[in-house]
Amino acid sequence: SQQGEEDPQALSIQEGENATMNCSYKTSINNLQWYRQNSGRGLVHLILIRSNEREKHSGRLRVTLDTSKKSSSLLITASRAADTASYFCATQTGANNLFFGTGTRLTVIP
């Protein structure tokens, strides 16, 4: 299966703290993407990192990719209550379908 796995499944932090979520996958990839899903809503694309990249930033988000370990991490700095959501990693091999991980449920306590 190409499905990724996020770790932890759930994470609860205080506002202002940093949140780190990890994703592991099984096959070679062309890119890895992170998405956010607020409760009852569709997924929103956050960031895409290609297999030849090791780190990428977007605002308060920092994504790393280690293809030798087949893993990625998403760091959200200075978290806010509005960051409360589920976060999914998704892997893609060439012009093929995205395979989503199992998600991390992040709760930021005000």
User: What's the CA gap between 73 and 33, in Å, rounded?
Assistant: 11
The two three-digit tokens of residue 95, written as one number = 């012009």
Pattern 38-57, binding to other proteins, x per CB under 8 A? --xxxxxx--x---------
For other proteins, which stretch binds (CB under 8 A), given 11-19, 28-36, 57-65, 68-76?
28-36
Taking the C-alpha atoms of residue 86 and residue 76, their distance in angstroms, rounded to an integer, is: 13
Structure tokens at 106: 């992040």
Q: Is 84 in the site for other proteins (CB under 8 A)?
A: no
Report phi then psi at 88, rounded to 5: -125, 140
The answer to whether 33 contacts other proteins (rule: CB under 8 A) is yes
Cβ closest to other proteins, residue 25 vs residue 99: 99
First-residue to last-residue Cα distance in the chain: 38
Binding site residues, other proteins, CB under 8 A: 30-31, 33, 35, 37, 40-45, 48, 86, 88, 92, 94-100, 102-103
